[in-house]
């Protein structure tokens, strides 16, 4: 195989899917692997411009992150991609003891030394903006834009974003000398000299992204550096957008016309909602004609076999009757959400439950709400890769599974973060759009 242009690791599955969609629609031949690919997997995939590995580092402690990322870094070094992208959540939520982005970049840079690490601070198509190093985000698709320390992510139960200045945020994570490159310099004739001067002594350069037009100069800067030596880059799918914008402008890559719209599911769909987000709650409420099944998170965490067996049987029966089903771990009434429950362990148990359901029921389309839930559900399934089918909403893609098992090969899967998607998203999953 020729080296891909980009190799990326998504620290949560939903984010990795967004980059898969971004790269495919940007005209890059792209496949997302669900683990470090073997030579056989790479051979089956064929020539690729962009290779992704989906992971769960966002929910891991530092020692687990190192164990997860060292083989990824070794793989990317062997592939020889000029750009190695650590794909973060677009809200950059991370903490010193959980999902530490600075630690991840250190592990990658030890194997792929970079003169400096570019950090792309925004992704306008999903309402994420970086202005003078401060991060702003829409509260939901089309919703109001708030500074991240006044956004619902500031109250995230595991990795609350209480600092909007990403330079200070990275300093708290253990990375000092992060230098801001403001959007006001992008149109200056001495931009290259300005960037070179900022890079002297810097561990990382944080690039503002205030609008789509900012992506082209950022992509040009990253690619120029990558052509001299492999470079590690951090940020959301704005990294791939910036590179593709530059390649389209220069003619190096032809933009894709994009796949056709998503058609209706051939049978009932299963949605597993592990997200506590109010956005996901409204999407469940809007799907009034779906059967709803409330899972007991406490019994799941206790690994209560009676609850698991009963849940699998009832959900399987509903699907067999032709009903589409939403199974959810958060209450839909006025009862408060118990935020003391260990989210990672709950996501793992939810993954085991979905694997049991799919072994009993014939499901051709699956939806998952929640970043950590998505990560652990796919880890519980015997799927080794995903390719992009089409978009159901901004930032929400439908993908096709590549698996050894004929029961899972070709399964269509929607994975979404808790804050993503319009209220009618689950109806779109079933009916197409």
* 59 and 128 part of one domain: yes
What's the pLDDT band for 258 if we cut at 50, 70, 90? low
- If asked whether residues 277 and 345 sit together in one domain, one would say yes
- Residue 291 within any structural domain of the chain: yes
Decide if 77 is inside a domain: yes
Whichever domain contains 383, its CATH number is 3.40.980.20
Worst-scoring range by mean pLDDT, 131-145, 167-181, 395-409? 395-409
Per-residue pLDDT, 239: 98
pLDDT digits (tens, 9 = 90+) for 371-390: 778 778 888 888 899 999 99
**What span, in angstroms and rounded, lies between the C-alpha atoms of 427 and 433?**
9
Same domain, 187 and 304: no
Same domain? 80 vs 229: yes
> Could you tell me if 229 and 307 lie in one domain?
no
In three-state secondary structure terms, 350 is: helix
Any domain includes 258: no
The CATH number covering residue 63 comes to 3.40.50.10840
pLDDT, mean over the chain: 92
Evaluate whether residue 15 is within a structural domain: yes
Judge if 274 and 321 occupy the same domain.
yes
Quick check: helix, strand or coil at residue 268? Answer: coil
Residue 342 lies in a domain: yes
- The pLDDT assigned to 340 comes to 63
82-126 pLDDT, tens digit per residue, is 999 999 999 999 999 999 999 999 999 999 998 999 999 999 999
Q: Report the helix count and the strand count for the chain, using DSSP H and E.
A: 14, 18
Same domain, 189 and 335: no
| Token pair of 413 as six digits | 């899967």
The structure tokens listed for 243 are: 């590179």
Flag whether 1 is in a domain: no
pLDDT > 70: what percent of the chain? 97
> Do 200 and 83 reside in the same domain of the chain?
yes
Give the whole-angstrom CA distance, residue 411 versus residue 357.
14
Q: For 39-84, what is each residue's pLDDT tens digit?
A: 989 998 899 999 999 988 998 999 999 999 999 999 999 999 999 9
| Residues forming beta bridges with residue 87, ordered by sequence position | 10, 235
Per the structure, the complete domain to which residue 230 belongs is given by 6-250
178 and 47, same domain (yes or no): yes
**Mean local confidence (pLDDT), 209-227:** 97
If asked whether residues 242 and 361 sit together in one domain, one would say: no
In angstroms and rounded to an integer, the radius of gyration of the C-alpha atoms of the chain is 21
* Residue where a domain terminates, one of 250, 284, 312: 250
Beta-sheet pairing, 50-54 with 178-181: unpaired
Q: For residue 333, name the pLDDT band (cuts at 50, 70, 90).
A: low
pTM for this entry: 0.82
Classify 101 in phi/psi space as left (phi over 0), alpha (psi -120 to 50) or beta.
Answer: alpha
- Could you give the number of structural domains in the chain? 2
pLDDT category at 169 given cuts 50, 70, 90 is very high
Do residue 87 and residue 166 come from a single domain? yes
User: Do 244 and 383 fall within a single domain?
Assistant: no
Span of 32-46, 147-161, 281-295, 335-349 with lowest mean pLDDT:
335-349
């Amino acid at each position: 195989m020729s080296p891909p242009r980009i190799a990326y690791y998504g620290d949560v599955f939903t984010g990795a899917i967004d980059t898969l969609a971004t790269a495919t629609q940007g005209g890059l031949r792209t496949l997302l692997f669900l683990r470090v690919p073997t030579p056989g997997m790479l051979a089956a995939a064929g020539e690729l411009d962009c290779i992704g590995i989906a992971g769960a580092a966002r929910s891991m402690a530092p020692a687990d992150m190192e164990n997860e990322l060292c083989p990824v870094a070794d793989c990317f070094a062997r592939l020889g991609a000029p750009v190695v992208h650590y794909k973060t959540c677009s809200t950059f939520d991370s903490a010193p003891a959980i999902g530490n982005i600075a630690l991840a970049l250190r592990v990658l840079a030890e194997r792929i030394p970079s003169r400096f690490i570019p950090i792309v601070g925004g992704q306008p198509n999903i309402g994420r903006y970086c202005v003078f190093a401060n991060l702003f985000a829409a509260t939901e698709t089309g919703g109001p834009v708030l500074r991240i320390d006044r956004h619902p992510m500031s109250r995230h139960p595991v990795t609350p974003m209480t600092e909007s200045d990403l330079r200070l945020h990275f300093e708290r994570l253990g990375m000092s000398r992060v230098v801001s490159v403001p959007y006001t310099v992008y149109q200056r004739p001495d931009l290259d000299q300005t960037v070179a001067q900022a890079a002297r002594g810097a561990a990382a350069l944080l690039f503002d992204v205030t609008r789509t037009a900012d992506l082209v100069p950022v992509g040009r800067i990253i690619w120029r550096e990558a052509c001299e030596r492999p470079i590690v880059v951090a940020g959301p799918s704005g990294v791939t957008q910036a590179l593709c914008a530059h390649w389209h402008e220069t003619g190096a890559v032809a933009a894709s016309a994009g796949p056709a719209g998503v058609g209706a599911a051939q049978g009932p769909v299963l949605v597993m909602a592990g997200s506590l987000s109010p956005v996901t709650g409204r999407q469940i409420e809007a799907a009034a004609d779906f059967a709803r099944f409330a899972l007991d998170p406490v019994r799941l965490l206790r690994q209560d076999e009676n609850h698991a067996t009963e849940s699998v049987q009832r959900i399987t029966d509903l699907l067999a009757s032709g009903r589409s089903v939403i199974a959810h771990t958060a209450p839909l009434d006025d009862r408060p959400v118990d935020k003391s429950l260990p989210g990672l362990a709950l996501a793992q148990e939810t993954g085991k439950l979905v694997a049991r359901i799919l072994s009993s029921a014939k499901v051709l389309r699956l939806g998952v709400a929640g970043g950590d839930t998505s990560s652990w559900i796919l880890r519980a399934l015997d799927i080794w890769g995903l390719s992009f089918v089409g978009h159901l909403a901004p930032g929400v893609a439908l993908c096709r599974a590549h698996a050894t098992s004929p029961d899972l090969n070709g399964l269509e899967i929607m994975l979404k973060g808790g804050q993503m998607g319009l209220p009618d998203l689950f109806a779109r999953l079933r009916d197409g759009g």
